[in-house]
Amino acid sequence: MSAATDKLTDALYGVGWSTLKKLPEPAAVRLGRTIADLAWKRRGKGVLRLEANYARVVPDASPARLAELSKAGMRSYMRYWMESFRLPAWSKDRIRNGFSGQDMHRLTEGLAAGKGVVVALPHLGNWDLAGAWLTTKLEIPFTTVQERQKPESLYDRFVAYRSGLGMEVLPHTGGSAFGTLARRLRAGGVVCLVADRDLSASGVEVKFFGESARMPAGPAALAQHTGAVLLPVTLWYDDSPVMRGRVHPPVEVPETGTRAEKTAAMTQALADAFATGIAEHPEDWHMLQHLWLADLDPSKAPTTEAAATKRPATEAPSPKAASPKATPPGPSSPSSGAPPASTSPETTAEGTP
């Protein structure tokens, strides 16, 4: 991005955190939905990509059904942003009451074992809210990583935001983060990582909804390296102000195989758990970027994508990119701002909780 674009992006995030948190909650909800519907109607690249991804998750969906899903998906995505911009102003009681989790005993039992816990999540729901709930309701501190962004002031904003919610935030640079994360786990702590997308060459290839994708090696590598419990977690919204979540059964380290083979098997198990949660709540999966390897090579693209990107006859106008104001980028992706991909199996997983 140019220096001017960097400045504009930083300014927009600054406005979000300084202004939106002052709105009454009903007004913020209405504003988020209005922005989401505007972005959806513009049929920009993010919306088309979202529909193409949903076509993998719901392969028998008609173009009209995919359009419905993408509209709900954009509303869910903007709910995430409205909550995130407002989280610093939420009271502790609002945070405590803002999330309800199933099978949380798996987390507390893992901590009681004293070996540390790696929590791995996909881009479902609001991982920042789940993290704030963990530090506030359960009073469990945890460590995560944050990709360095441009301009540096934007990176500083995200670090300040997440630190203010009680998270320890490490820069996602080189191998230094891995060592610190490992030390936190050996001390019996918690590490939280968003881990459903890694387009780097070091990503582990998995089968995801029947097709090949790459996911970070970090969660599995940390669990093997430290003996920590590896727990997949999925999140979703319903019609209430309360976000829901589930802690899935632990991913075990295979008894046999090389380190690479064990990492591959464990990462596939994470992908399977993520797929379960995403299939149940596809509209809350905020994946507006390429994910499957076939999408990176157009000659391998499945025929369903063409249907996914085709505009339903009764729906929105011809495709054009949504404005930055209509569809803010995610927190730290190299492409549009979603949490970062890992750069090495020995470093970290993808970004933040």
Percent of the chain with pLDDT over 70: 83
pLDDT at residue 348, as a whole number: 35
pLDDT at residue 9, as a whole number: 82
Q: Please, what sign has the CA dihedral across residues 125, 10, 96, 75?
A: negative
pLDDT at residue 17, as a whole number: 86
How many of the other CB atoms lie within 10 Å of CB of 261?
11
The total number of residues written for the chain in this structure:
353
For residue 315, pLDDT over 70 is answered with no
pLDDT at residue 297, as a whole number: 67
For residue 317, pLDDT over 90 is answered with no
Q: What angle do CA 220, 221, 223 make, to 5 degrees?
A: 65
For residue 327, pLDDT over 60 is answered with no
Selected residue with higher pLDDT from 158 and 99: 99
| Predicted TM-score (pTM) of this structure | 0.83
Residue 117 main-chain phi, psi, to 5 deg: -135, 130
Confidence band, pLDDT 50/70/90 cuts, at residue 175:
low
Cα distance between residue 212 and residue 160, in whole Å: 36
Q: What angle do CA 185, 189, 193 make, to 5 degrees?
A: 75
Confidence band, pLDDT 50/70/90 cuts, at residue 200:
confident
For residue 286, pLDDT over 90 is answered with yes
The whole-number average pLDDT for the span 215-242 is: 97
How many of the other CB atoms lie within 10 Å of CB of 182?
17
Which pair of tokens denotes residue 158?
């995200």
Confidence band, pLDDT 50/70/90 cuts, at residue 5:
confident
pLDDT at residue 316, as a whole number: 31
- Whose tokens are 């905020």? That residue is 286
For residue 323, pLDDT over 80 is answered with no
Which pair of tokens denotes residue 169?
């935030």
Confidence band, pLDDT 50/70/90 cuts, at residue 258:
very high
Nearest-CA neighbor of 252 among 103, 110, 130? Answer: 110
- Residue-wise pLDDT for 27-65, tens only, equals 999 999 999 999 999 999 999 999 999 999 999 999 999
Which pair of tokens denotes residue 100?
């309800």
Residue 311 main-chain phi, psi, to 5 deg: -75, 125
Cα distance between residue 246 and residue 80, in whole Å: 18
Cα torsion 266, 271, 277, 283 to 10°: value is: 160
The whole-number average pLDDT for the span 62-83 is: 96
- 3 state DSSP class of 145: strand
pLDDT at residue 313, as a whole number: 29
My answer on whether omega of the bond before 329 falls inside 30° of 0, hence cis, is no
Cα distance between residue 210 and residue 208, in whole Å: 5
Contact 314, 305 (CB under 8 A): no
Contact 87, 237 (CB under 8 A): no
Which pair of tokens denotes residue 307?
């249907």
